[in-house]
Every structure is written in C-alpha cells, then in structure tokens.
C-alpha cells in the first residue's frame, strides 16, 4: 500500500510518501516539504494567527500532494513546536476543522522511541546496544537500548531552531552569547547522562536529523547524492574543530558550506553546540549517521500494527 507521513515539525512540514507492506522495507516514492519554522513563530508561547494560517495552508498543500500521489493512508503528527504552544488545542482544532486532518501530537519520549525503532531496523540486531541522538528544531531526543523498545528515552528542549531564536540574536553571534549557550546546553545534557550511563557503554552510537547530516557533510562525509547506503560518520575531533569556525561565520557564509541549506544555515551553530556537548558528555568519539529517523519510525510502527491485526 502507499502510505503518507505528514510531519509537522519545528522547522518544516514534510510529507513523505512510501510504498510499504508488513515485512518489507518502506520504499520512498515522493517527498514534499515546506519550510514553516513554527518554533520561531511563537509569540509569548503561542502560535500567532499568521502562523496558524500558514500552517493550515501548508497542510492543505500536503494533502493535495498526497492525493496526487495516490496515498491510501495518511499518518499525520506534530512535534515540539505544536506540543509546547500555549494555544496548542486551538491550533489543532482549527487544523482539524479547516483541513480534516487530525494531528497526533507526539510526546518527546514518543519521538525518541520511534526514532530509536527506525535506527534499530536500519542497523539491525548485530548493532548491539544502540545510543541514538536526534537534534530537531525544537528538541534533542536521546534513546538507548538493545531491543526495539529502548531501555531509556529522553527529550530535552535543545532544538537548533529554539536555541538560535532564544540565545543567538547576532549574525555572526556575539562570543559571549555563544559561551552562554554552550554552558546552558552542557548543563542540560549533563543532567541526563546518569540516566543512560547506568546501562553501560553502547556498542554503536548513531545520529539522525538534518543537523547531524549537515555537520557530518561539512566534516567530510559523502554527499547525499551518493545514496542512502554509503556509510557516513561524524568524529568528535572534527566537530570540535568546526564549532569555533561556525561561530565566526555569518548565516550567509554558513549557507555556502557543502551540504548546508540556506534555510538551515542560521541554526547550524546551535546544532553543532548541542552535538558537541552530547558527544563529549556521553563519551562518544565517533558516531554513524542513520538515514532513517522519526518519520520512518512512525511508518514502521503502523506496519507492525497492521501485521498484528
């Protein structure tokens, strides 16, 4: 069957269309993205009228794309930007009334668990104990375990978009602001390390998300055009060398780096600070980039439920 996943995230609204059935690898058939940056449209903790109107318009565009591509079943969900908005219930009600789409709001822990499921399926059982890191626009997800359900999962308010909007107003940012954000990020990550370290060291550390992919690319990983199955990694040593360089660049200069999109360039420094802190505090020297993430996790969970019926 042809499934569609509609992901209303903090940065983008992304429709992923796949051909899938239980027991098979979901095959991507179409991708439709619109940059929305909901995390930056929050006004006093609420999504303002213009933001809601734009969200509804983008969801309607995605619905049309899903119809055009013959999607049989649409799985719509929203993450931290909607979850944490003061007017989330009103926003969800307007989306439902005007588009017919019932957005499922995932908790941070659900995000972490579904992303972990996707990484586990991608790397398989031979990967052993997995530590999975994911930096989104609004939050950082961490999960660890040896099964398909992680033994520990956490979500921290350390998304690249959120931190950029709240901590790094300059272009390039002021050194004092960068240091203050670095301290804040490391304090937040350090609070969670003990929850995971009691399970022992992981056999493999993997990362998902656009932020990690772009950091790996500027550090020398293969281009996306070379395909999903090319192994890509990010070494802490390389990342530590890039952080001060990114801090000294303007947004326009970062956008000229290989693999960095114009829409994400402004968030790259904050994302790098979060990645560096997570790798350092969890004792990670290198990690592998996983092509699958939350959207694939949602698809896999849906297929599992179909198989069990």
pLDDT in tens, 23-48: 888 999 999 999 888 876 777 889 98
Tell me the percentage of the chain whose pLDDT exceeds 90.
86
Residue 308 pLDDT level (bands cut at 50, 70, 90): low
Contact assessment for residue 116 and residue 130, using Cβ atoms and an 8 Å cutoff: yes
Q: Looking at residues 110-128, what average pLDDT do you find?
A: 97
- Residue 66: partners with Cβ closer than 8 Å, 6 or more residues away: 4, 6, 15, 17, 74
Residue 198 has a pLDDT of 94
pLDDT the model gives residue 204: 98
Per-residue pLDDT, averaged over 150-160, amounts to: 97
Give the contacts of 135 (CB within 8 A, at least 6 positions apart): 158, 159, 160, 207, 209, 211, 212, 271, 274, 275
Token pair 């199955």 in the structure block, residue: 229
pLDDT digit string, tens, across residues 182-200: 999 999 999 999 999 999 9
224-to-78, 132, 221, 235 alpha-carbon distances in Å: 26, 21, 9, 18
User: Does the pLDDT value for residue 298 go beyond 70?
Assistant: yes
The torsion region of residue 126 among left (phi > 0), alpha (psi -120 to 50) and beta comes to: alpha
Distance (Å, whole) CA 3 – CA 14: 14
CA neighbor of 28 nearest in space, from 305, 299, 212: 299
Residue 45 has a pLDDT of 87
- Segment 250-265 shows an average pLDDT of 95
Residue 55 structure tokens: 């969200």
């Amino acid at each position: 069957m042809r499934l569609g996943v509609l992901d209303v995230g903090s940065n983008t609204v992304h429709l992923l269309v796949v051909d899938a059935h239980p027991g098979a690898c979901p095959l991507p058939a179409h991708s439709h993205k619109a940059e929305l940056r909901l995390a930056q449209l929050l006004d006093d903790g609420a999504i303002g009228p213009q933001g809601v109107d734009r969200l509804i318009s983008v969801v309607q565009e995605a619905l049309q794309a899903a119809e055009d591509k013959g999607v049989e079943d649409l799985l719509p969900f929203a993450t931290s930007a909607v979850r944490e908005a003061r007017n989330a219930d009103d926003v969800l009600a307007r989306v439902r009334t005007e588009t017919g789409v019932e957005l499922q709001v995932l908790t941070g822990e659900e995000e972490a668990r579904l992303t972990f499921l996707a990484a586990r399926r991608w790397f398989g059982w031979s990967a052993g104990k997995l530590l999975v890191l994911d930096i989104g626009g609004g939050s950082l997800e961490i999960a660890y375990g040896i099964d398909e359900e992680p033994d520990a999962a956490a979500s921290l308010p350390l998304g690249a978009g959120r931190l950029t909007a709240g901590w790094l107003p300059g272009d390039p940012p002021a050194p004092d602001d960068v240091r203050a954000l670095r301290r804040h990020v490391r304090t937040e990550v350090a609070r969670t390390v003990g929850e995971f370290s009691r399970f022992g060291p992981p056999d493999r550390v993997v990362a998902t998300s656009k932020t990690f992919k772009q950091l790996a690319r500027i550090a020398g990983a293969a281009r996306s055009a070379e395909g999903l199955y090319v192994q890509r990694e990010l070494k802490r040593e390389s990342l530590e060398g890039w952080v001060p360089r990114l801090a000294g660049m303007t947004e326009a200069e970062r956008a000229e780096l290989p693999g960095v999109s114009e829409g994400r360039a402004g968030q790259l420094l904050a994302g790098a600070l979060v990645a560096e802190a997570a790798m350092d505090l969890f004792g990670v020297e290198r990690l592998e980039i996983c092509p699958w993430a939350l959207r694939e996790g949602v698809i896999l969970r849906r297929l599992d439920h179909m198989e069990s019926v």
